[in-house]
């Protein structure tokens, strides 16, 4: 705002009592002012001498020599040069002396000058305001007390969907959708931040009452298009959310994360870094990554490597004995292709290694359990025909399972009918050879030459030269059960040793060797070692075969198996012959008391006979007794001579058979001794010998 000092006419002369009115007129004309201040000798302002005053006295009375003091008017008011025009433009006098801050007169100013300057000032201010009003980005609309639109700037035209020309002078509600401006006029209460939508644009408006002398004379609404801001706000919101999410991810990452700037200074890192490096992770922020290398926490400076490589780098570090870390560095490039950030990921592999070990352990455990389950299943499957509940027999079956998992030969030692062949079959079935063939050869029932052909095959020399393969070849990738191997002639034993040692079968010199991959399972009633000692068994064959000897106990050594075996055989025969027979309690008791020297085979035969021959559903004790009696009349074994054996041995064999038969027929050693015509002690001794021979 202009000040009085800027509008006044500067004066270097004032009037004193010695000035005439002519002097005053001359100075006024010269200085182009309408009045002059009049001072006393002390320089004190006494009044003003003005043109109007002179004219008011009448031009006819004007005498130039008259004293200026006679025209002095005291209707004056001194103004300070600093006073704002706004404060003085309306004062009553025509001309004013102007003082500086030292109360010295420095000039005069007329009311006209003040008015003119003030008007100019107000006009230019109003033009400025109008320009602002028109160019304002915000829409501005004002109404008077009656609700008539008094102004509307171009920015308001769009949201109000009208034009200044259409709107100004009209009632607000006739022109635009009511926005609450009338309400503001009515109650004089401003309203800020109200949102409203026009089309797809969103506006925010502030409505304020226009007050004049404390009274509401209108209202002005200023509205701003905030669609863009809103959009930016929303984007900002989602960026903020994203940032928070990223922050959460970084903080909760189990891997350590270090973000460095292009110079390698740490900008950010997560708590996992602290956990892995056993350091305060917050303190790392702002420090150069190189410090970690200098302190020996890392051996290599990955920042350096990433920069050198210009891309992804992964290295292995072992900062502490218990930690092994995989550190990867990933550069982030600017548009100009410069590395602006490097993101370092630190993975503590010791945890993974620990987990891998734990996994390995549980894998092994699982394999063990699987093998145990398989063992149990195999026991069930392979033992479908093998009934056992005795500890001694279960141990045998367990050993059989274990040897089935390896590929070594097996020798099964036990009395006749104890289940050697059955166990041999189960070993084959449970072994990895189960898909291959299983052959059985009885070494005692065939003459030597036939046995040899059966085993090793034969070259038939006729026109077509057809060969008959032996079971050792036929059972390739499978197993051969050599029953009564103890009875195998020595020659054949020798040839068998060679075949097993060479793993080949050479029929003739001209013919190519046939490779043999057959597992040998052998059964014997007598311990082979004893025969080796007697040179009745080839020691090489013994050592080749006897890698895992399994002793199968006689039935009398496992009485717990009697009932399951009786029931098994009963059920089997009922099924086979379509009966539903059962044993009476007496019958069962008789079966349990029977010595079963012929073991399970004897029992199986007897029960089949009882099931087939008994007339009633319930097989009585009497019927059992009858069949047992008949069986006892039939010798178990006839004495046959299949080859020349040392006499002493033959006698031993015969003795044993006789004692066994006598026991079978008479049940007690006393009665058996009576029948054999020897002392009871002899029978006991022979029985013990027999037991010892069969390994019992
Ligand atoms: N544990 C068992 N459960 C049920 N039946 C069995 C069992 N063991 C053997 N058997 C049966 O008993 C009979 C004789 O068994 P196996 O032929 O295996 O005996 P072995 O010891 O080989 O006799 P040998 O030496 O006289 O040949 C067979 O019918 C067989 O199925």
Determine the atom of ligand 1 nearest the C-alpha atom of 484. 25
422 alpha carbon – ligand 1 mean position (Å): 6
What number of other Cβ atoms are within 10 A of residue 467's Cβ? 15
Mutate which of 383, 387, 392, 418 for ligand 1? The one with the most ligand atoms within 8 Å of its CB, which is 418
Instruction: Give 557: exposed, middle or buried? Use CB within 10 Å, 0-12, 13-18, 19+.
Output: middle
CATH of the domain at 76: 3.10.580.10
Average pLDDT, the chain: 86
417 alpha carbon – ligand 1 mean position (Å): 5
Q: Provide residues with CB under 6 Å of ligand 1.
A: 385-388, 414, 416-422, 483, 523, 565, 568, 600-601, 604
629 alpha carbon – ligand 1 mean position (Å): 23
Residue 464 has pLDDT above 70, yes or no: no
More confident residue, 379 or 247: 247
* Shortest-distance Cα residue to atom 8 of ligand 1: 419
Residue 665 has pLDDT above 70, yes or no: no
Residue 356 has pLDDT above 50, yes or no: yes
Separation between Cα atoms, residue 261 and residue 263, nearest integer Å? 5
Indicate if 446 and 540 belong to the same structural domain.
yes
- pLDDT for 460: 59
Residue 376 has pLDDT above 70, yes or no: no
565 alpha carbon – ligand 1 mean position (Å): 11
403 alpha carbon – ligand 1 mean position (Å): 19
Indicate if 143 and 114 belong to the same structural domain.
no
Residue 178 belongs to a domain: yes
Q: In terms of pTM, does the model score above 0.80?
A: no
* Shortest-distance Cα residue to atom 2 of ligand 1: 386
* Shortest-distance Cα residue to atom 26 of ligand 1: 416
Residue 320 belongs to a domain: no
Residue 494 has pLDDT above 90, yes or no: yes
Indicate if 151 and 31 belong to the same structural domain.
no
Last residue of a domain, one of 172, 196, 229: 229
Tell me the average pLDDT across 168-190. Answer: 87
- pLDDT for 378: 47
Residue 684 sits at the vertex; the CA angle it makes with 678 and 688, to the nearest 5 degrees, is: 135
pLDDT tens, 495-511?
A: 999 999 989 887 555 55
Indicate if 87 and 176 belong to the same structural domain.
no
Last residue of a domain, one of 553, 581, 604: 553
Separation between Cα atoms, residue 5 and residue 84, nearest integer Å? 9
Indicate if 48 and 162 belong to the same structural domain.
no
- pLDDT for 667: 62
Residue 695 binned pLDDT confidence (cut-offs 50, 70, 90): very low
* Shortest-distance Cα residue to atom 5 of ligand 1: 386
Instruction: Pick the range with the lowest mean pLDDT from 4-8, 473-477, 668-672.
Output: 668-672
Helices (H), 383-486: 391-404, 420-430, 448-456, 471-474
Residue 248 belongs to a domain: no
CATH of the domain at 213: 3.30.450.20
Tell me the average pLDDT across 535-559. Answer: 91
Residue 694 has pLDDT above 70, yes or no: no
604 alpha carbon – ligand 1 mean position (Å): 9
Residue 210 belongs to a domain: yes
423 alpha carbon – ligand 1 mean position (Å): 8
Indicate if 203 and 168 belong to the same structural domain.
yes
What number of other Cβ atoms are within 10 A of residue 211's Cβ? 12
Residue 629 has pLDDT above 70, yes or no: yes
Mutate which of 564, 601, 602, 694 for ligand 1? The one with the most ligand atoms within 8 Å of its CB, which is 601
Question: What are phi and psi for residue 126, nearest 5 degrees?
Answer: -65, -35
Tell me the average pLDDT across 379-401. Answer: 77
Last residue of a domain, one of 199, 229, 259: 229
* Shortest-distance Cα residue to atom 13 of ligand 1: 601
- pLDDT for 696: 42
Would you give the DSSP letter of residue 201? Answer: E
Instruction: Pick the range with the lowest mean pLDDT from 142-151, 339-348, 386-395, 488-497.
Output: 386-395
Share of the chain above pLDDT 70, in %: 90
Indicate if 402 and 521 belong to the same structural domain.
yes
Mutate which of 445, 550, 600, 604 for ligand 1? The one with the most ligand atoms within 8 Å of its CB, which is 600
* Shortest-distance Cα residue to atom 25 of ligand 1: 416
Residue 23 has pLDDT above 80, yes or no: yes
Separation between Cα atoms, residue 622 and residue 570, nearest integer Å? 17
E strand or H helix at 470, and its extent?
none
Residue 526 belongs to a domain: yes
- pLDDT for 402: 93
Residue 617 belongs to a domain: no
CATH of the domain at 408: 3.40.50.300
Tell me the average pLDDT across 529-550. Answer: 90
- pLDDT for 78: 93
Indicate if 17 and 55 belong to the same structural domain.
yes
pLDDT tens, 359-368?
A: 888 887 776 6
Determine the atom of ligand 1 nearest the C-alpha atom of 561. 1
Say how many domains are in the chain.
Answer: 4
Q: Which two tokens stand for residue 649?
A: 């041995």
Indicate if 111 and 142 belong to the same structural domain.
no
Residue 544 belongs to a domain: yes
Determine the atom of ligand 1 nearest the C-alpha atom of 425. 18
Indicate if 68 and 153 belong to the same structural domain.
no
**Biggest alpha carbon–alpha carbon distance for the chain:** 202
Residue 541 sits at the vertex; the CA angle it makes with 535 and 542, to the nearest 5 degrees, is: 70
Separation between Cα atoms, residue 379 and residue 430, nearest integer Å? 8
419 alpha carbon – ligand 1 mean position (Å): 3
522 alpha carbon – ligand 1 mean position (Å): 14
- pLDDT for 375: 47
Residue 517 has pLDDT above 50, yes or no: yes
CATH of the domain at 684: 1.10.10
Q: Which residues pair with 645 in a beta bridge?
A: none
- pLDDT for 374: 52
What number of other Cβ atoms are within 10 A of residue 581's Cβ? 18
Residue 82 sits at the vertex; the CA angle it makes with 80 and 86, to the nearest 5 degrees, is: 95
Share of the chain above pLDDT 90, in %: 46
Would you give the DSSP letter of residue 518? Answer: -
Indicate if 30 and 101 belong to the same structural domain.
yes
Q: Are 168 and 192 in contact (CB under 8 A)?
A: no
365 alpha carbon – ligand 1 mean position (Å): 36
Indicate if 483 and 404 belong to the same structural domain.
yes
Domain extent, residue 217, equals: 136-229
Determine the atom of ligand 1 nearest the C-alpha atom of 600. 12
| Contacts for 264 with CB less than 8 Å, ≥ 6 apart | 288, 289, 290, 301, 303, 304, 342
pLDDT tens, 150-174?
A: 999 999 888 888 899 999 999 998 8
Residue 271 belongs to a domain: no
599 alpha carbon – ligand 1 mean position (Å): 8
Instruction: Pick the range with the lowest mean pLDDT from 8-12, 86-90, 316-320, 402-406.
Output: 316-320
More confident residue, 557 or 465: 557
More confident residue, 325 or 506: 325
691 alpha carbon – ligand 1 mean position (Å): 19
């Amino acid at each position: 705002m202009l000040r009085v000092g800027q509008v006044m006419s500067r004066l270097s002369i004032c009037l004193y009592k010695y000035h005439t009115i002519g002097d005053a007129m001359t100075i006024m004309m010269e200085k182009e002012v309408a009045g002059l201040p009049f001072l006393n000798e002390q320089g004190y302002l006494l009044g003003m001498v003005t043109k109007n005053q002179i004219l008011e006295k009448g031009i006819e009375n004007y005498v130039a020599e008259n004293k200026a003091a006679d025209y002095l008017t005291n209707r004056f008011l001194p103004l300070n040069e600093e006073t704002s025009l706004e404060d003085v433009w309306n004062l009553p006098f025509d001309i004013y002396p102007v003082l500086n801050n030292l109360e010295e007169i420095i000039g005069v100013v007329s009311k006209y000058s003040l008015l003119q300057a003030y008007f100019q000032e107000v006009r230019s201010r109003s033009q400025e305001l109008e320009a602002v009003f028109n160019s304002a980005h915000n829409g501005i609309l004002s109404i008077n007390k009656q609700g008539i639109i008094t102004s509307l700037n171009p920015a308001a035209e769009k949201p109000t969907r009208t034009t200044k020309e259409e709107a100004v002078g009209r009632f607000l509600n006739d022109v635009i959708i009511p926005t609450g401006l009338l309400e503001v006029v009515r109650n004089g209460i401003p309203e800020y931040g109200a949102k409203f939508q026009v089309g797809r644009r969103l506006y925010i408006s502030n409505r304020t009452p226009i007050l004049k002398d404390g009274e509401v004379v209108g209202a002005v609404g200023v509205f701003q298009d905030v669609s863009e801001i809103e959009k930016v706000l929303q984007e900002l919101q989602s960026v903020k959310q994203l940032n928070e999410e990223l922050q959460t991810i970084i903080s909760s990452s189990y891997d350590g994360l270090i973000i460095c700037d292009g110079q390698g200074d740490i900008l950010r890192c997560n708590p996992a870094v602290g956990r892995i490096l056993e350091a305060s992770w917050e303190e790392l922020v702002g420090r150069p990554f190189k410090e970690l290398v200098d302190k020996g926490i890392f051996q290599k400076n990955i920042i350096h490597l990433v920069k050198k490589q210009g891309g992804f780098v992964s290295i292995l570090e072992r900062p502490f004995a218990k930690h092994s870390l995989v550190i990867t560095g990933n550069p982030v490039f600017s548009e100009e292709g410069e590395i602006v950030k490097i993101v370092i990921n630190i993975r503590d592999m010791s945890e993974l290694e620990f987990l891998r070990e734990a996994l390995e352990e549980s894998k092994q455990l699982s394999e063990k359990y699987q093998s145990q389950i398989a063992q149990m299943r195999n026991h069930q499957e392979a033992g479908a025909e093998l009934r056992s509940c005795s500890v001694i027999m279960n141990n045998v079956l367990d050993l059989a399972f274990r040897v089935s998992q390896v590929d070594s030969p097996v020798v099964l030692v036990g009395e006749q009918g104890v289940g050697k062949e059955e166990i041999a079959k189960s070993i084959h079935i449970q072994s990895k050879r189960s898909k291959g063939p299983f052959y059985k050869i009885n070494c005692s029932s065939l003459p030597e030459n036939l046995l040899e052909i059966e085993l090793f095959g034969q070259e038939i020399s006729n026109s077509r030269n057809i060969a008959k393969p032996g079971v050792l070849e036929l059972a390739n990738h499978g197993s051969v059960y050599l029953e009564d191997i103890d009875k195998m002639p020595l020659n054949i034993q020798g040839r068998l040793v060679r075949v097993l040692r060479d793993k080949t079968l050479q029929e003739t010199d001209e013919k190519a060797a046939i490779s043999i991959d057959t597992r040998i399972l052998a059964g014997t009633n007598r311990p082979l070692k004893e025969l080796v000692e007697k040179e009745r068994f080839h020691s090489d064959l013994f050592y080749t075969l006897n890698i895992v000897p399994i002793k199968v106990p006689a039935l009398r050594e496992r009485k717990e198996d009697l009932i399951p075996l009786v029931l098994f055989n009963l059920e089997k025969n009922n099924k086979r012959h379509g009966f539903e027979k059962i044993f009476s309690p007496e019958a069962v008791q008789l079966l349990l008391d029977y010595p079963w020297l012929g073991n399970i085979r004897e029992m199986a035969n007897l029960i089949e006979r009882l099931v087939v021959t008994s007339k009633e559903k319930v097989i009585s004790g009497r019927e059992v007794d009858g069949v047992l009696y008949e069986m006892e009349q039939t010798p178990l074994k006839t004495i046959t001579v299949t080859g020349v054996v040392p006499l002493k041995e033959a006698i031993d064999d015969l003795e044993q058979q006789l004692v066994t038969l006598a026991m079978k027929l008479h049940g007690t050693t006393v009665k058996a001794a009576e029948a054999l015509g020897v002392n009871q002690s002899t029978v006991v001794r022979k029985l013990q010998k027999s037991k010892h021979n069969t390994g019992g």
